[in-house]
Amino acid sequence: MSGGIGDDPFWNETTAGDNDFERPIDMMGDMGGNGNGGAQNTNLPDSGVDMIGDLAASAPAPAPSPSDFHLVEKGDYFDLVKKVPSLRRIMIGAGWDHKMLETTKIDVDLSCFLLDKQNQTRVDEDFVFYNNESGCDGAVRHSGDSRTGAGDGDDESLFIDLNGLPFDVLRVMITLSIYNAAEAEQHLGMVRNIYLRVVNEEDGNEIVRLQMDESMLNGVAGMQVACLVREGPKWYLEVLENPVKGGLGAIATQYGIIVGAGA
């Protein structure tokens, strides 16, 4: 494979109206009254039917809340398809915040590696990150680089069409890293509230969420956070949280990406 980190530019960052009103129903007046302000009609036979109770019992159950997701932690192996049998397209979102006393900008990057049965990338384009925002003919897309982590919600995202991945892609390794960590003398311990979540892209419902253990982040430039694992027609999320001191360059080397000197 060709390409690398360092001098190669491949690795360098670039830049309600009235009609909506309905009259409330007086159940006792409308159904059991005589039309005079809802007074009870004593001539009606006692049917023994609890109208209110029957209506309440027949009401549909409330729809699941969009926030009805599963919290995962290191070591979990979560069956995504069991949770959502029709799962086809997912969004993997990551977010973080600067610590209150941290004044320098810290650029955290979300990346992924598309791996074969040898646990290696097949081509350089199987490494999807800030300077290569698409892989597998668009089956994997990156949202683009966020250099500040400002604002609420996801800071960076990956969009994955599971059915669009080639059959020889068996794993999708998801990583977080600090850009240019060694030169900037920065590490993941300088940010807080780091999370990763998997969302069903078709309905927007969150499936699983990982709130990362911040106790292991000091001095760490990169992290193998989790891995999507294909087993036949099913996909699992394996939660890893493996720290990598060498950052993104060290992770890329593990998966067959040639890294330039000085990375």
Q: Do 134 and 48 share a domain, yes or no?
A: no
CB contact set of 63 (below 8 Å; sequence gap of 6+): none
Q: Do 99 and 76 share a domain, yes or no?
A: yes
**Rounded Cα–Cα distance for residues 132 and 128 (Å):** 5
3-state secondary structure 191-241: EEEEEEEEEECCCCCEEEEEECCHHHCCCCCEEEEEEEEEECCEEEEEEEE
Q: Do 49 and 88 share a domain, yes or no?
A: no
**The residue count for the chain:** 263
Q: Do 247 and 161 share a domain, yes or no?
A: yes
Q: Do 43 and 112 share a domain, yes or no?
A: no
Is the separation of the CB atoms in 240 and 224 below 8 Å?
yes
- Give the mean pLDDT of 133-150: 82
User: Is residue 4 scored above 50 in pLDDT?
Assistant: no
Q: Do 31 and 74 share a domain, yes or no?
A: no
Asked if the structure places residue 121 within a domain, the reply is yes
Pairwise pLDDT comparison (153 vs 134), residue with the higher score: 134
Asked if the structure places residue 18 within a domain, the reply is no
**What pLDDT does 104 receive?**
81
Q: Do 175 and 216 share a domain, yes or no?
A: yes
Name the band, by pLDDT with cuts 50, 70 and 90, for residue 258: confident
Q: Do 45 and 141 share a domain, yes or no?
A: no
Q: Do 178 and 48 share a domain, yes or no?
A: no
**Tell me: the pLDDT tens digits for 12-69?**
655 433 333 333 333 333 434 444 444 444 444 454 544 444 443 444 434 344 457 7
Block residue for tokens 């969004």? 91
Asked if the structure places residue 22 within a domain, the reply is no
Q: Do 82 and 39 share a domain, yes or no?
A: no
Task: Identify the domain containing residue 51 by its residue range.
Answer: 27-58
- Among 171, 259, 184, smallest CA distance to 221 is for 184
Q: Do 214 and 95 share a domain, yes or no?
A: yes
**Rounded Cα–Cα distance for residues 92 and 102 (Å):** 27
Asked if the structure places residue 16 within a domain, the reply is no
Asked if the structure places residue 104 within a domain, the reply is yes
**What pLDDT does 31 receive?**
38
Q: In one letter, which amino acid is 60?
A: P
Torsion of CA 132, 137, 143, 146, to 10 degrees: 0
The CATH number for 88's domain is 2.60.60.30
Mean pLDDT, the chain, whole residue set: 80
Name the band, by pLDDT with cuts 50, 70 and 90, for residue 151: low
CB contact set of 175 (below 8 Å; sequence gap of 6+): 110, 111, 112, 113, 222, 223, 224, 225, 244, 248, 251
Asked if the structure places residue 133 within a domain, the reply is yes
User: Is residue 5 scored above 60 in pLDDT?
Assistant: no
Classify 27 in phi/psi space as left (phi over 0), alpha (psi -120 to 50) or beta. alpha
For residue 28, the number of C-alpha atoms closer than 13 Å in the C-beta half-sphere is 7
For the chain, what is the domain count?
Answer: 2
**Tell me: the pLDDT tens digits for 89-108?**
999 999 999 887 667 889 99
Asked if the structure places residue 63 within a domain, the reply is no
Q: Do 124 and 183 share a domain, yes or no?
A: yes
Asked if the structure places residue 259 within a domain, the reply is no
